[in-house]
Amino acid sequence: MTTPLLGTSFIGHSRATGTEACGFGIQPGTGTSLEPAYHSATPEEVEKAMALAAAAFPAYSALSGKLRAGLLRAIATEIEGAVEDIVERGLLETGLPEARLRGETGRTTGQLRMFASQIEEGSWVDARIERADPDRKPIPKVDLRSMLRPLGPVAVFCASNFPLAFSVAGGDTASALAAGCPVVVIAHAAHPGVAEIVANAVIRAAHATGMPEGIFSVLYGGGRKVGQAVVKHPVTQAVGFTGSRSGGTALMAAANSRPQPIPVYAEMSSVNPVVILPGALDRGEEALAEAFFGSLTLGVGQFCTNPGLVFLPAEKGGAFLTKLKSLVEAGTPGMMLNASICQSYADSTAAFAATPGVETLARSANQAGPGQGAPAVFVVSIGDFLKHEALQGEMFGPATLIVRGSLGEIEAVIPKLEGQLTASIHATTEELAAQASLVQALQGRAGRLIFNGFPTGVEVCSSMVHGGPFPATSDGRSTSVGTMAIYRFCRPVAWQSFPDAALPAELQDANPLGIRRMDPAVPA
């Protein structure tokens, strides 16, 4: 380890001194405690972090996109320089393989650079200009110009299943910093050491680029104690969260109970339904089963986009099920992220198996070791599926439920599903055209529609939508992946009749930044 781990929070540029231990990193499978012990931020330290964030906001939000882009790129470079430490600690804390840790590090640095390019170019502010017309009748038209401005300090909760890409310097942090918002991160108990390594990288980048102290803090102590205090603090203006439905709804309740309610952008629960039409089966049932099994078991089923629900025509699909059964029975158990997730997976699969009408199609014949999850597939009729609301729930692991019914029954049940991150449809192009109402129903339930593919694998780009109706997310109008994520942490502001010199550069007549603007007076 290049830099020794201290086990304390980051309060701006300083390290906390709280002495109340809140736990260790734990090695999955063995349950071994990993040094050092981590210590909870005290109420006074939380208050200091919030005060620093409030003090930093005016100066940081006023920086040019180019300067903030410099910070994001510096963070990416510092994280790359710490990758060996990240992998060394991550292998101990998370149970993830080395390739996944290195790949997720690359995704994290790629996100940071993506947002850097976005704010450096500058058009994301959505500048709109309506010029004055003093001769307009019956009343003169005033000069009115608007653009997006940052909300203020943002609380970001690290995710248990993504120690990098959705954690300390992940997408929520990157998009908030890009928008001009200081960030206060609440570290996750599942990977405290990785959090400390990445936090050190961010602080080094902030120093190197001359950023105001307080644009970034990381607090240990958990969501129920420290996290709730940050969400309820009057300085906090928005929340980013990836995790359980219970955790997300608790934060939503806390945010709504404040004297000034604030938005919570929570990614929570999704089973990512897959609809298989007869034409897709006719192309090759065994190949389809193999591709589905790969998506189901990717990451031991611990991605928010693993397919946990399949709708299969009742009159077809025998070869698909036979092949899937053989793959599951031969499937290798994998190490899960932590003991809590492993136990939850065991409990949920047991509950599904015990539900009236549910048949266990297959379980892995290989014995799962401590901390491991093994593949499982269940089958139920569409009638029994509708009788038991719990069957819409998430098993969060390498298990799926196959629901069998007629095409008419499948289309009728889609609007009754909870909100989802994704919905996939496997069909021929002719079937797709003939099933426009089915596609429309899926669109009403999900943030991303997939044709002849599977939901695992989220491209980080400008057009990605990683969101969906509740409970997939708390606000289906947003995304937590891709450049649109920046809009969660902004609000529109208009300037009426301001002199040109007093306007932000983005709205001045000369357009000194050269950005795209909505300006009827300037030809496109």
In order along its 524 residues, the chain shows pLDDT tens digits of 888 999 999 999 999 997 899 999 999 999 999 999 999 999 999 999 999 999 999 999 999 999 999 999 999 999 999 999 999 999 999 989 999 999 999 999 999 999 999 999 999 999 999 999 999 999 999 999 999 999 999 999 999 999 999 999 999 999 999 999 999 999 999 999 999 999 999 999 999 999 999 999 999 998 788 999 999 999 999 999 999 999 999 999 999 999 999 999 999 999 999 999 999 999 999 999 999 999 999 999 999 999 999 999 998 999 999 999 999 999 999 999 999 999 999 999 999 999 999 999 999 999 999 999 999 999 999 999 999 999 999 999 999 999 999 999 999 999 999 999 999 999 999 999 999 999 999 999 999 999 999 999 999 999 999 999 999 999 999 999 999 999 999 999 999 999 999 999 999 999 999 999 999 988 76
Report the CATH fold assignment for 274-451.
Aldehyde Dehydrogenase; Chain A, domain 2 (3.40.309)
Answer yes or no: 181 catalytic: no
3-state SS string for 490-505: EEEEEEECCCHHHCCH
CA–CA separation, 524 and 516 (whole Å): 9
Residue indicated by tokens 């993504």? 162
- Out of 22, 304, 342, 490, the active site residue is 304
DSSP string spanning 456-472?
-----STT-----TTTT
CA–CA separation, 167 and 185 (whole Å): 8
- Out of 78, 93, 104, 267, the active site residue is 267
- Write out the H or E segment, with its range, that includes residue 399: strand 399-405
CATH number of 10-268+479-488: 3.40.605.10
CA–CA separation, 66 and 71 (whole Å): 9
Which amino acid belongs to residue 320?
F
Instruction: List Cβ neighbours of 475 (8 Å cut-off, separation of 6 or more).
Output: 263, 264, 265, 467, 488
Residue 52 sits at φ, ψ, to 5 deg, of -65, -40
Cβ-contact 23, 54 below 8 angstroms: no
The model's pTM is: 0.96
Answer yes or no: 304 catalytic: yes
Residue indicated by tokens 């903030």? 68
Q: What angle do CA 109, 113, 118 make, to 5 degrees?
A: 150
CA–CA separation, 456 and 467 (whole Å): 14
Cβ-contact 332, 301 below 8 angstroms: no
CA–CA separation, 13 and 325 (whole Å): 54
Q: Which among 51, 63, 46, 61 is positioned nearest to 10, based on CA atoms?
A: 46
Residue 66 sits at φ, ψ, to 5 deg, of -65, -40
| Two domains, one topology: 10-268+479-488 and 274-451 | no
Extract the tokens encoding 153.
Answer: 């300090």
Give domain limits for the chain.
Answer: 10-268+479-488, 274-451
